[in-house]
Amino acid sequence: MLTPVLHSCPSITRYEHNPVLTSREVPYASTLVFNAGVIKWQGRYVMVFRNDYHYLEGARFEGTNIGICTSADGIHWQVDPQPCFDVKDDALMAKFGLPRGEITRCYDPRLTVIENEVYMTFAVDTRHGLRGGIARTVDFRNWDILSLTVPDNRNMVLFPEKINGRYVRLERPMPVYSRGRDRFDMWLSESPDMIFWGKSTLVAAVEDFHYTNDKVGPGAPPVKTDRGWLVFTHGVDIDQTRGKNGWEDAWKKRYCAGMVLLDLKDPGKVIGVYRDPLLAPETDYEAVDGFRTNVIFPTGAILEEDGTVKIYYGASDTVIALATANVNELVDLCLAGGAR
């Protein structure tokens, strides 16, 4: 059975000069830049991004860190001369009772502003599994790491305000055995303090979308609208007939961006689903060139005063690109698709 060809939603427009950030703009060792968190902060746009450097072979790189850049318009970016975040330090190990060398790398940051404080979620690879972390900062240089999940959990994003007095996050746990294979779904959890998380609820599942058979999870932190929380998601399908699609010997997955609409007061309730891809890999920088082609992963969303949503996404796990759409059109599309 041939994999169906997917197309992007006509309501969305890619920035004509994509990508907006590549490794060429990074003033230190850099091979790939992607999966970035973006916020507006103190009159400027701030982006933190995953930076993989010194490619070795297969899927292996010498290292990964998190860089930072700023922009006046959300399009043209100035990268700081040094990375901004690293978790492989003795103080962190001691705080969480970890032995020296337990954490091997950090990556995939997302940014959210809550009550005038900046929070970053991120993933860390450890010698005993992949964990999700939450950190807080006031200057993007000094970070207070609040919590780490048990393995395996990643792609966590925070809602930009407390709901019913609690912090809320979306996440994508990775239950390989209990689902029979890697069928990963999007869940919601609550916390009184950003440290202890629970009351977990299934929000969206792989089977809710015709173009996914492998993974559905959060992408960018939720955007608040007057009709609900607009959430940009990632959806993945696997086709074992796919061959070499990038630098590795074989890359059999395709990542698309999707979206759902959640209830404002009860965000575990899905009130609208866009059933088709919002963005599917179609351009050269998404589907032809790069480390892992056929990958679109939305990781940042900014709602502007005129109703335009800027959607930042990683393309081919290689560069950062930008697309825009009208927020009301996106909400209408979700509501037209019905609830989960």
> Tell me: the pLDDT tens digits for 300-325?
999 999 999 999 999 999 999 999 99
Would you place residue 153 in the very low, low, confident or very high pLDDT band (cuts 50, 70, 90)? very high
Whether the Cβ atoms of residue 239 and residue 251 lie closer than 8 Å to each other: no
Closest CA to 108 of 299, 292, 334, 247: 299
The 10s digit of each residue's pLDDT in 327-339 is 999 999 999 998 8
Whether the Cβ atoms of residue 259 and residue 271 lie closer than 8 Å to each other: no
Q: Indicate whether this model's pTM tops 0.75.
A: yes
> What's the pLDDT at 2?
54
Q: What are the Cα distances from residue 155, in Å, to 120, 171, 265? A: 11, 6, 23
> What's the pLDDT at 286?
98
Is it the case that residue 221 has pLDDT exceeding 60? yes
Would you place residue 27 in the very low, low, confident or very high pLDDT band (cuts 50, 70, 90)? very high
> What's the pLDDT at 21?
98
Please give the single-letter amino acid code of residue 312: Y
Closest CA to 296 of 324, 257, 259: 257
What average pLDDT does the structure give for the chain? 95
Would you place residue 94 in the very low, low, confident or very high pLDDT band (cuts 50, 70, 90)? confident
Would you place residue 100 in the very low, low, confident or very high pLDDT band (cuts 50, 70, 90)? confident
> What's the pLDDT at 88?
67
Is it the case that residue 1 has pLDDT exceeding 60? no
> What's the pLDDT at 46?
98
> What's the pLDDT at 4?
84
Q: Does a cis peptide bond (omega within 30 degrees of 0) precede residue 90?
A: no
What's the average model confidence in pLDDT over 124-138? Answer: 94
> What's the pLDDT at 259?
98
Spatial distance between the Cα atoms of 60 and 46, rounded to a whole number of angstroms: 28
Token pair for 317: 């796990």
Residue 98 zone, left/alpha/beta (φ > 0; ψ -120 to 50; rest): beta
Is it the case that residue 170 has pLDDT exceeding 80? yes
Instruction: DSSP for 200-249, please give it.
Output: EEEEE-GGGSTT-SSEEEE-SPPEEETTEEEEEEEEEEE-TT----BSSS
Cβ neighbours, 10 Å, residue 261: 26
What's the average model confidence in pLDDT over 72-78? Answer: 98
The helix or strand, by DSSP H or E, that contains position 299, with its residue range, turns out to be strand 296-303
Q: Please, what's the b/e burial string for 301-327 (b: 16 or more CB within 10 A of its CB; e: otherwise)?
A: bbeeeeeebbbbbbbbbbbbbbbbbeb
**For 323, phi and psi rounded to 5 degrees?**
-135, 160
What is the C-alpha end-to-end distance of the chain, expressed in Å? Answer: 27
